[in-house]
Chains A and B, each alone.
Chain A
Amino acid sequence: MRNAERLCLAHFWVAFAAFLVAAALGTWQMWVRSPLGAHIGTPGQYFMSVTAHGVSMAYVLTTFFIMGFGYFVAVTALDRPLPGKPWAWAAFWAAIIGVVMVLLTIIAGKASVLFTFYPPLTASPWFYIGLVLVVVASWVWCILMLAAMAGWKRENRGRPVPLAMFATVANAVMWLWTTVGVAVELLYQVIPAAFGWVQTIDVGLARTLFSWTLHAIVYFWLIPAYIAFYTMVPRAAGGRLYSDTMGRLTFILFLIYSLPVGMHHLLMDPEHGNGTKFIQVLLTAFVSVPTLLTIFTITASLEIAGRLRGGRGVLGWIAALPWERPTVLAVGLAFVMLGFGGFGGLINMGYGMNAMVHNTSWVTAHFHLIFGGSVVIMYFAIAYEIWPRLTGREHSSLAPLRWQLWLWFIGMMVMTLPWHWLGLQGQWRRVANFNYADPIIASWGPLVIVSVVGGFLLLLSALLFVRNLIALHRSAIIAVRRPLYALAVHPPQRVPAALNGFGLWNVLVLVLMLLAYGYPLAQFAITPSPSAMVHRVQ
């Protein structure tokens, strides 16, 4: 693998170590806020844990995994050495320094602001600077992804960029756009406030800038899972990708529509009017399209595989699929969770209907199910699939892998389905302990306990996942040469430039962002909000 194994493994192990710690913290949080742990833990400990859990899962697991996976794809899909490998390592270490800064400030109790860090609540400036370091490292990754694709295109004039790399670069381009919001918020507003250079802050502006990043970032997380859907699952199932063209279109649609929709997180906010909120709801409806297209294309790809294996009848091909292979099992489970999670998302974005669920456990359920569920289960599948290539060893048995995936699915469903119901009852978020003496809250107790059981299953699954990877490092079986990426039914010989690069799409992103965020941001310059006092959490 052209000596990139170490680079990839370093990123992956940081990601999965953060994941395991965060899983344990999450389980503890669920315990102490349930009737079972009613008098355990202080609010200080709880919110420190929530901050660490959110930062680890949302920023560390994801960024490091995506960077490692991107390097892997750049080398294997393009069959080329990674350009600028020293820069990749420098970025890795910068990110590590950032993570250490973030962790230390959290543990010191100076950063209990949660992963969304809404000002005027303000943490130690070193918390934010640590996060900035991680983001800057990811920008280096973006540039290297662009450089890798550009280098390959120079040497392969006129040929279509392999889909896995095309999608990775789409994700990198989207990430560059995505991070602008939080970077401006941190550099222009929050870090100066944290250092005490300013005493007040424009809260409406900060929230709006963060919303720019907050939705697009989940697509940054999601796209690697979709890369696995399009480029790995069909091969693992023994079939073909139904349409390479639809794959390219899907990733382009994500690039365009992931960004101008962030204000659907601000539907309940008083600093924006109905008009701009509705525009972003409309655009959010458009971003559901690539997922709906993907469901069809990947199901059709699986149908090809199932029918090639002898499946008959309208749905008989489902049973004929090789479910004993972890990647195939993972996509099946992922699609079930995508169905439920997507359903929740459609309700969240329903304009006025958001009032029914905003900041209730419904929202917590939604993002744990769709990200923690459908996306992270594919991260597991990707890891299981590529670890033999990184270590040169083979799994001695696939059974523990399947167990781990099933445990994750069952745990996630048991944890999140009750939360949906509780959210509709009005159970609200980010609570260290509930007053179970109140009759309304008391009625929630039993379902809270059910979801705690789900949390424990997830922790078990997380432990098993790490165990499975460690076991592979120690496996005595040498890995067999085996192709990874899927072929399409019609492998493209040439594709139009629009489906092979991003120049045109960047223009469209700019236009849509001006339409969606132009006025909402400009209004803060035209009519500044009365500013609020900075509140330091110490």
Chain B
Amino acid sequence: MSDTHPEVHEERILWTELLWAFGVGIFIAASLSMIVFTALTRDINPPSNVERVDPKTLHLSGEFAEQNLGTSVGSDGSVTVRMIATQFMFAPRCIAVPQGRRVTLRFASPDVIHGLLITGTNVNTMVIPGFVAQVHTEFARTGDLLMPCHEYCGLGHSEMYATVQVMSQSDFIPEADGRVSCAKR
């Protein structure tokens, strides 16, 4: 009886497996294509700006010296936020950002690994000592958001978070030096 012969079973079995693998392959290819498409057309990428900075001298001079921290608007209108992530606080503790405009956030750590996210947005990055972490985004809605440190950085990790005030564009007014501070509440 040829239809009970094991080899015939095996051949048909492998065909069904191939068919299934093909279907699964299509799903995988489609998902990857979607990812590539949004990466190229909507600028959706993981934060991957590889830029080195010496953690041991951050505070002394240069971009992450204390006087440069916080939000500042450049002469071309670009909005850049610079923050330090350190055990166990962000400096500054509050930043102001505009709604509906592209914002570039740059972080550095002088000590250990930190990380952060901003609730309700796709802002998420690790902060690795030795590298500047840079994320771009656009804030859709006004309001106060949380920016916690989300990577274990020591015993004070649980208390480490900052506030992000998303302001309407009319409220987002730079001072003479281009800096914008949080509104006093």
Determine direct contact between A and B, CB below 8 Å: yes
Q: Which residues of A are in contact with B by a Cβ distance under 8 Å? A: 43-44, 47, 112, 114, 118, 120-121, 200, 202-204, 207, 242-243, 245-246, 266-274, 277-278, 281-282, 285-286, 288-289, 292-293, 296-297, 300, 346, 350-356, 358-360, 425-426, 428-435, 438, 440-441, 489-491, 527, 529-533, 535, 537
Q: Flag if B123 contacts A532 (CB, 8 Å).
A: no
When each residue 115-152 of chain B gets 1 if its CB lies under 8 Å from chain A and 0 otherwise, what string results? 10111101111111111111000000000001011111
B-side interface mostly: mixed
B50 at the interface (CB under 8 A from A): yes
Given A297-B17, A490-B9, A530-B55, A289 and B119 touching (CB < 8 A)? no
Bound form: Cα–Cα A440–B113 in Å: 25
Contacts A274-B45, A281-B35 known; list 8 others, CB within 8 Å.
A203-B113, A270-B126, A274-B39, A277-B48, A293-B24, A359-B117, A440-B119, A535-B87
B171 within 8 A of A: no
Could you tell me which B residues sit within 8 Å of A by CB distance?
6-7, 9-10, 13-14, 16-17, 20-21, 24-25, 28, 31-32, 35, 38-39, 44-56, 87, 111-113, 115, 117-120, 122-134, 146, 148-159
Note all chain B residues with C-beta closer than 8 A to A118: 112-113, 151-152
Which listed residue, A114, A121, A274, A532, touches B48 by the CB 8 Å rule? A274
Taking a contact as CB atoms under 8 Å apart, the answer to whether A426 and B117 are in contact is yes
Contact indicator A204/B14 (Cβ below 8 Å): no
In the bound complex, do residue B46 and residue A267 qualify as a contact, i.e. CB atoms below 8 Å apart?
yes
User: In chain B, what residue has the closest Cβ to A207?
Assistant: B128
If the complex has contacts A355-B122, A355-B123, are A296 and B52 also in contact, measured as CB distance less than 8 A?
A: no
Residues of B within 8 A of A289 (CB): 21, 24-25, 28
Residues of B within 8 A of A246 (CB): 14, 17
Cα–Cα distance between A204 and B129 once the two chains are bound (Å):
8
Q: Within 8 Å CB of B132, what residues of A?
A: 270
Which residues of the partner chain B approach A297 to less than 8 Å between Cβ atoms?
17
CB atoms of B31 and A428 under 8 A apart:
no
Q: How far is the CA of A350 from the CA of B33 in the complex (A)?
A: 11
Q: Is the CB of A296 within 8 A of B17?
A: yes
Chain A residues, Cβ within 8 Å of B159: 435
Residue B50 contacts which of A272, A292, A296, A441 (CB distance < 8 angstroms)? Answer: A272
Q: Contact check: which of A270, A350, A434, A441 meets B131 at CB < 8 Å?
A: A270
Contacts of A245 in B (CB 8 A): 10, 14
Q: How many Å from the CB of B140 to the closest CB on chain A?
A: 14
Q: Is the CB of B117 within 8 A of A120?
A: no
Query: A352 with B131: in contact, given A112-B155, A114-B152 (CB under 8 Å)?
Result: no
Q: Which residues does chain B contribute within 8 Å of A278, judged by CB atoms? A: 39
- Chain B residue nearest to A116 (CB atoms) is B152
Q: Are B6 and A490 within 8 A (Cβ)? A: yes
Question: Is the beta-carbon distance between A270 and B48 smaller than 8 angstroms?
Answer: yes
Chain B: CB-nearest residue to A531: B130
B155 and A44 form a contact (CB under 8 A): yes
A532 touches B56 (CB 8 A): yes
Closest chain A CB from B86 CB (angstroms): 11
